[in-house]
């Protein structure tokens, strides 16, 4: 799959582990985990296309196109049946990848991929935005992530947030660990519980009083959980 420069850090020896960060982040967010796992695994930590030091996609990729990109990248490295560890937007990619290609194990934390429950306020805002656009009135709308993004990455974000990956979950056959923050506002806990129901071989662990970046702020605890889940894979 054609793409620009991708910044990848590869460390260690052993079975392949791939780390996928969330939207607006970069490989730094997973560096603690790479440093921890590299003694037993070959760990690939990358800036996803459009983030960090990696170039943007050549057009507005869908999540599935990110998954195809990842497959091509791993094929070039001779990697089959990887272990994927992913957060938020990265988890969207991991879900698409695992539904399409073989995976040894999957760890998803604060995973995006389900459509949020939207109330009347959301639809009123959308209607107002469409009206103002029709009347040629400039109105700034959209999340902070949307406002900060380039035109290509805005397109990627819009595609991603409007795509429901629920139907892919039953197709994922590998053992899956879900780690969630109890107070996650970006991907609420009900999403983790729903994923646990739909994934054939999944378990959910909840970090009390933590939010969307629970894995990062509770990094030592997260490492211990990852170690336990990956025991026997070396």
The answer, yes or no, to whether residue 44 has pLDDT greater than 50, is yes
E strands, 90-218, in order: 105-109, 175-181, 202-207
Note whether residue 126 is domain-resident. Answer: no
Q: What is the tens place of the pLDDT at every residue in 163-216?
A: 999 999 999 999 999 999 999 999 999 999 999 999 999 999 999 999 999 999
pLDDT band, residue 4 (cuts 50/70/90): confident
Show the domain range for 36: 8-116+151-230
Span 18-38, mean pLDDT?
97
Note whether residue 207 is domain-resident. Answer: yes
Per-residue tokens: 34: 């790479």
Note whether residue 223 is domain-resident. Answer: yes
Sequence-distant (≥ 6) Cβ neighbours of residue 85 within 8 angstroms: 17, 18, 19, 20, 30, 33, 107, 109, 226
The pLDDT, as a whole number, for residue 232 is 87
Decide the pairing of beta strands 16-20 and 42-46: parallel
List the single range of 75-89, 129-143, 150-164 with lowest mean pLDDT.
129-143
**Residue 120, exposed/middle/buried by CB under 10 A (0-12, 13-18, 19+)?**
exposed
Note whether residue 145 is domain-resident. Answer: no
Q: Find residue 204's DSSP bridge partners.
A: 178
The pLDDT, as a whole number, for residue 101 is 97
Which DSSP category does 104 fall into?
S
Which DSSP category does 54 fall into?
S
| The Cα angle at residue 85 between residues 220 and 230, in degrees rounded to 5 | 70
Note whether residue 174 is domain-resident. Answer: yes
Note whether residue 143 is domain-resident. Answer: no
Split into its structural domains, the chain has a count of 1
Q: State the chain's mean pLDDT as an integer.
A: 90
The pLDDT, as a whole number, for residue 128 is 46
The answer, yes or no, to whether residue 140 has pLDDT greater than 80, is no
CATH number of domain containing 15: 3.40.50.1820
Residue 115 CA, distance from chain mean position: 15
For residues 161 and 73, what is the distance between their CA atoms, to the nearest angstrom?
24
CB 50 within 8 A of CB 24: no
pLDDT band, residue 51 (cuts 50/70/90): very high
pTM: 0.88
The answer, yes or no, to whether residue 124 has pLDDT greater than 90, is no
Sequence-distant (≥ 6) Cβ neighbours of residue 226 within 8 angstroms: 33, 36, 37, 85, 107, 177
Closest by CA position to 27, among listed 83, 85, 107, 66 = 85
157 SS3 class: helix
Note whether residue 110 is domain-resident. Answer: yes
Note whether residue 122 is domain-resident. Answer: no
- In the block, tokens 């519980």 appear at 193
């Amino acid at each position: 799959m054609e793409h620009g420069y991708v910044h990848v850090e590869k460390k260690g020896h052993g079975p392949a582990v791939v780390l996928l960060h969330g939207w607006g982040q970069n490989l730094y967010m997973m560096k603690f985990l790479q440093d921890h796992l590299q003694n037993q695994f070959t760990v690939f930590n990358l800036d996803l296309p459009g983030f960090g030091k990696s170039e943007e996609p050549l057009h507005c990729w869908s999540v599935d196109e990110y998954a195809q990109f990842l497959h091509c990248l791993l094929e070039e490295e001779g990697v089959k049946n990887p272990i994927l560890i992913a957060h938020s937007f990265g988890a969207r990619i991991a879900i698409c990848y695992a539904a399409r290609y073989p995976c040894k194990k999957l760890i998803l934390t604060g995973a995006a991929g389900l459509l949020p429950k939207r109330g009347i306020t959301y639809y009123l805002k959308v209607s107002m935005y469409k009206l103002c656009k029709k009347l040629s009135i400039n109105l700034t709308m959209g999340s902070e992530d949307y406002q900060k993004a380039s035109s290509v990455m805005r397109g990627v974000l819009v595609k991603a947030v409007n795509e429901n990956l629920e139907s892919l979950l039953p197709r994922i056959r590998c053992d899956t660990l879900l780690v969630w923050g109890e107070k996650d506002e970006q991907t609420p806990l009900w999403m983790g519980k729903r994923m646990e129901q739909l994934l054939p071989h999944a378990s959910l662990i909840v970090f009390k009083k933590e939010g969307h970046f629970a894995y990062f702020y509770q990094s030592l605890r997260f490492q211990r959980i990852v170690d336990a889940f990956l025991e026997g894979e070396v």
